[in-house]
């Protein structure tokens, strides 16, 4: 149940007494008195019909796509699909996209135990032995997705429902018994199996509760309620809430801590490792960073051009395959960055210690030596284990000051200043080459919160991409591209980072948004260079318009993922691309490091996993874990945004419409970058209908079009901190709609209507 904050007020004495009386009633009575009849959903298609429809969709489909094809209610289809996923009959290949179990080689399954061994039981009843090293921590009763390898073993790629894990949500008292409504809305309702003794005396409507999930043999989940989530400081409450909702990992297991503690602190020069401690190596990182996983060097080539050294922390030296640290890192998949906290992939001794390329200390690296000709084109790649000694550490702010000539005189030695300036020049040449090859540089603005000691957001800061960030970005992109091409040239499979071509239907929506704002849309369908030209034209538009239109363009693309089938990276315009440069915080980078060392024939790496199907399974699980991390980070930002705006209820702010639906408009507030919802009931100047073709709300009488890019002033009306929802309204005096009696305005509106009618007829 949502708890919306709508400003401050004092309750009268009688009101306070009434509230106190209600608190003693018990939740069941209160729910009965306040119960509203739930709207009946149209009856959706049967599970059998849905499974048949999905079987005909080789690439999978969304709930709305299936509903359209089956002429069924989209919400009912969505609910049925989630239920089938929970039962292990349907795959959710990525958020909101479903596929029949078994398609693409992946199966939904339930983990069962037979004679002391674990098996993956698929929806057709087949039991496949579960590989002991590729279980992602799954246990008996868990609902998982598996890939069946060529050796007949099941490799877990995703855990859909983990029995025994904690969940958080609110309780709904229904005729069939109480049910938990999880805060993670994708999990669906669960029956409450048991509660603790004093639950009915202590629970108040809307309280968050914590329970333990139990999954039965059919994959159905229920929950045992253990406690009410107590009132804590925002710092603790928000962090704990996000961890519970997204099943994020906690402290490292004792065996992992013991393994990390046993690693020595010395860095002797051994084997084929090259000693480059004499070279001018430096790092650039955020001012607050502790895990420095990349460093740079640059020197001229005798024949002209440059030799760029990208030195990456040699995590694979310390984290060997199937060791306790490696198994835990594989289950985590990535470090999770939660504003002012980090849930690391590796223990602190490694992430902030032995693997961090701190200045003035010897460190092991895996180095990509990248040869660039006079035009800064990549002409050669060599990979080697190295021993470095970083000479200097810049923050991004310090590097930018040097590059812009604003640094304090004498603060930095002349040689490092000169090297930094040269690397920046090379990086801008690399960036120009990418653009010439058709790369799409989408415009976006990131915002971050500054928190007080109790976790309350006190300030929002806008982050940009300046030449210091571009310096690092371009060097890392080049290294990732060079390593992927090097492995491909050696004949090895790789865990690629791929990005597919855009969806033409969604590109059409982007073109529509351009037309709505009177901008040229003809080049949108003219390939990557046409789209690149459209994005370049938007640079002259106001920031808000440019931001929204770039966002709509981004929505035409699926997210980049990890896989072994190399289809290239469309947005970067790279034929070969992988992640190599961040093994401290991303598991796929660690996999690539091991593949490189195997290809180099280094001792200790001849037995690392190189089988294609096994790499494919690890790529899929890495994609899922990355999505989990991003969802957690997004949810925490939404909670902090609601907290920040809860103190500004009633204020009027400038915003821009980013989208619309039948219920209202989605608005981004320009000052903070926070998104809110403007419901239909807020519009008083006219009655509005949602025009799906124009992605806009259209006034019935005025013809006023409120679509993406339309700027307006809104009032912050209410926030729900637990849900991270923000409700907006209009100021008391709303700017009048376009005058329908004006002949010029009437003619313009009639022309627009004729144009849209022609498009619909086509």
Q: What is the pLDDT of residues 305-327, one digit of tens each?
A: 999 999 999 999 999 999 999 99
Residue 758 has a pLDDT of 52
Residue 631 has pLDDT above 80, yes or no: yes
Which contiguous run of DSSP H or E holds residue 3? none
The residue written with tokens 């239109």 in the block is 549
Residue 674 has pLDDT above 80, yes or no: yes
Residue 577 has a pLDDT of 98
pLDDT band at 518 (very low <50, low <70, confident <90, very high): confident
Question: Mean pLDDT over residues 626-653, rounded?
Answer: 95
* CA count, 13 A, side-chain hemisphere, 554: 13
CA angle 99, 554, 713 (to 5 degrees): 120
DSSP secondary structure letters along 488-511: HHTT----EEEBPPPPHHHHHHHH
Residue 750 has a pLDDT of 55
Higher pLDDT, 164 or 2: 164
Higher pLDDT, 411 or 75: 411
Residue 754 has a pLDDT of 54
3-state secondary structure at position 217: coil
Which contiguous run of DSSP H or E holds residue 456? none
pLDDT band at 5 (very low <50, low <70, confident <90, very high): low
Q: Which of 84, 79, 83, 57 is nearest to 69 (CA)?
A: 57
Higher pLDDT, 12 or 47: 47
d(CA 299, CA 423): 9
Which contiguous run of DSSP H or E holds residue 588? helix 587-599
Give the length of the chain: 762
d(CA 400, CA 287): 12
d(CA 366, CA 606): 17
- The one-character DSSP state at 271 is T
Higher pLDDT, 609 or 748: 609
d(CA 442, CA 446): 13
Residue 410 has pLDDT above 60, yes or no: yes
pLDDT band at 15 (very low <50, low <70, confident <90, very high): very low
Edge-to-edge, what's the strand order for the sheet holding 61-62? 61-62, 97-100, 90-94
Question: Mean pLDDT over residues 710-715, rounded?
Answer: 94
Residue 738 has a pLDDT of 43
pLDDT band at 124 (very low <50, low <70, confident <90, very high): confident
Helices (H), 87-231: 199-202
Residue 165 has a pLDDT of 86
d(CA 302, CA 466): 32
Distances 302 to 278, 342, 370, 371, 421 between C-alpha atoms, Å: 19, 44, 14, 11, 20
Residue 39 has pLDDT above 50, yes or no: no
pLDDT band at 745 (very low <50, low <70, confident <90, very high): very low
Q: Is the dihedral of CA 532, 538, 540, 544 positive or negative?
A: negative
Which stretches does DSSP call E strand in 590-695? Answer: 652-661, 664-669, 675-679, 688-691
Which contiguous run of DSSP H or E holds residue 308? strand 306-313
The proportion of the chain whose per-residue pLDDT surpasses 90, expressed as a percent, equals 65
Question: Mean pLDDT over residues 43-52, rounded?
Answer: 82
Lowest mean pLDDT of 317-321, 366-370, 756-760, name the range: 756-760
Distances 532 to 435, 507, 573, 731 between C-alpha atoms, Å: 8, 13, 11, 39
Query: Residues 650, 718: contact at Cβ < 8 Å?
Result: no
- Give the pLDDT confidence of 554-610 residue by residue, as tens digits: 989 989 999 999 999 999 999 999 999 999 999 999 999 999 999 999 989 999 999
The chain-wide mean pLDDT, for the chain, equals 88
Q: Which two tokens stand for residue 216?
A: 């039965």
3-state secondary structure at position 607: coil
- Give the pLDDT confidence of 260-295 residue by residue, as tens digits: 999 999 999 999 999 999 999 999 999 888 889 999
- Give the pLDDT confidence of 209-229 residue by residue, as tens digits: 999 999 887 778 899 999 998
- DSSP lists the bridge partners of residue 449 as 460
The proportion of the chain whose per-residue pLDDT surpasses 70, expressed as a percent, equals 90
d(CA 532, CA 573): 11
Residue 186 has pLDDT above 80, yes or no: no
- DSSP lists the bridge partners of residue 718 as 727
In degrees and rounded to multiples of 5, residue 698 shows phi and psi of -120, 125
Distance, first Cα to last Cα, the chain: 45
d(CA 348, CA 353): 7
Distances 285 to 289, 396, 549, 588 between C-alpha atoms, Å: 6, 6, 30, 21
CB atoms within 10 A of CB 655: 25
Residue 95 has a pLDDT of 66
Q: Is the dihedral of CA 578, 581, 586, 589 positive or negative?
A: positive
């Amino acid at each position: 149940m949502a708890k919306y904050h709508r400003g401050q007020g004092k309750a009268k004495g009688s009101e306070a007494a009434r509230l106190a009386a209600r608190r003693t009633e018990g939740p069941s009575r209160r729910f009965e008195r306040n119960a509203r009849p739930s709207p009946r959903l149209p009856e959706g298609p049967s599970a059998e019909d849905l499974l048949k429809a999905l079987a005909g969709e080789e690439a999978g489909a969304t709930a709305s796509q299936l509903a359209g094809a089956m002429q069924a209610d989209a919400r009912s289809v969505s609910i049925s699909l989630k239920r089938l996923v929970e039962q292990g009959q349907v795959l959710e290949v990525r958020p909101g996209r479903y596929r029949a179990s078994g398609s693409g080689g992946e199966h939904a399954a339930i983990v069962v135990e037979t004679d002391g061994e674990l098996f993956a039981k698929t929806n057709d009843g087949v039991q496949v032995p579960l590989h002991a090293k590729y279980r992602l921590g799954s246990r008996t009763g868990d609902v998982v997705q598996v890939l069946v390898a060529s050796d007949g073993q099941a490799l877990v790629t995703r855990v859909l429902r983990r029995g025994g894990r904690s969940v958080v949500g609110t309780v709904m008292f229904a005729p069939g018994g109480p049910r938990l409504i999880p805060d993670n809305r994708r999990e669906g309702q669960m029956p409450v199996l048991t509660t603790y003794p004093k639950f009915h005396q202590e629970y108040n409507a809307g309280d968050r509760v914590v329970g333990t999930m139990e999954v039965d043999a059919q994959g159905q989940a229920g929950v045992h309620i253990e406690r009410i989530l107590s009132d804590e400081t925002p710092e603790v409450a928000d962090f704990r809430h996000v961890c519970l909702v997204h099943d994020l990992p906690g402290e490292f297991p004792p065996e992992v801590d013991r393994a990390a503690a046993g690693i020595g602190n010395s860095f002797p020069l051994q084997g084929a490792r090259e000693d480059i401690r004499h070279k001018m190596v430096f790092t650039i990182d955020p001012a607050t960073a502790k895990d420095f996983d990349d460093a740079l060097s640059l020197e001229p080539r005798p024949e002209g051009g440059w030799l760029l050294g990208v030195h990456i922390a040699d995590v694979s030296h310390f984290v060997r395959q199937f060791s306790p640290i490696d198994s835990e890192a594989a289950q985590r998949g990535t470090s999770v960055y939660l504003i002012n906290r980090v849930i690391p992939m590796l223990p602190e001794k490694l992430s902030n210690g032995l693997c961090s390329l701190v200045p003035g200390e010897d460190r092991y690296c895996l180095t990509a030596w990248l040869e660039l000709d006079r035009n800064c084109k990549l002409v050669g790649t060599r990979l080697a284990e190295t021993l470095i000694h970083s000479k200097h550490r810049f923050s991004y702010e310090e590097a930018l000051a040097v590059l812009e000539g604003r640094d304090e005189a004498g603060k930095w030695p002349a040689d490092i200043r000169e090297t930094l300036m040269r690397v920046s020049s090379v990086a801008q040449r690399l960036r120009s080459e990418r653009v010439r090859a058709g790369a799409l540089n989408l415009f976006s603005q990131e915002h971050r919160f500054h928190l007080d000691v109790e976790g309350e957001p006190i300030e929002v800061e806008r982050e940009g991409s300046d030449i210091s960030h571009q310096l690092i970005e371009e060097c890392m992109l080049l290294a990732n591209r060079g390593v992927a091409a090097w492995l491909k040239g050696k004949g090895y499979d790789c865990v690629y980072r791929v990005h597919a071509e855009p969806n033409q239907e969604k590109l059409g929506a982007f073109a529509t948004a351009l037309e709505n704002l009177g901008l040229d849309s003809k080049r949108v369908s003219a390939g990557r260079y046409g789209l690149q030209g459209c994005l370049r034209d938007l640079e002259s538009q106001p920031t808000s318009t440019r931001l929204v239109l770039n966002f709509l363009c981004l929505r035409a693309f699926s997210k980049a993922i990890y896989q072994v089938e190399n289809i290239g990276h469309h947005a970067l315009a790279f034929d070969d691309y992988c992640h190599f440069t961040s093994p401290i915080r991303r598991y796929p980078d660690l996999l690539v490091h091991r593949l490189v060392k195997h290809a180099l024939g280094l001792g200790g790496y001849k037995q690392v996993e190189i089988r294609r199907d096994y790499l494919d399974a690890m790529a899929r699980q890495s994609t899922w874990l990355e999505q989990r991390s991003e969802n957690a980070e997004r949810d925490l930002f939404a909670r902090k945004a609601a907290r920040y705006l809860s103190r500004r209820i009633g204020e009027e702010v400038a915003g821009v419409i980013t989208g619309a639906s039948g219920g209202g408009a989605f608005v981004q507030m320009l000052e903070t970058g926070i998104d809110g919802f403007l419901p239909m009931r807020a519009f008083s100047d006219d009655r509005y209908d949602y025009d799906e073709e124009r992605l806009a709300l259209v006034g019935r009488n005025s013809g006023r079009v409120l679509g993406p890019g339309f700027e307006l002033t809104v009032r912050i009306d209410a926030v729900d901190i637990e849900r991270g929802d923000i409700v907006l309204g209009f100021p008391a005096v709303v700017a009048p709609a376009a005058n329908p009696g004006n002949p010029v305005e009437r003619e313009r509106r009639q022309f627009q209507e004729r144009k849209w009618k022609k498009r619909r007829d086509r």
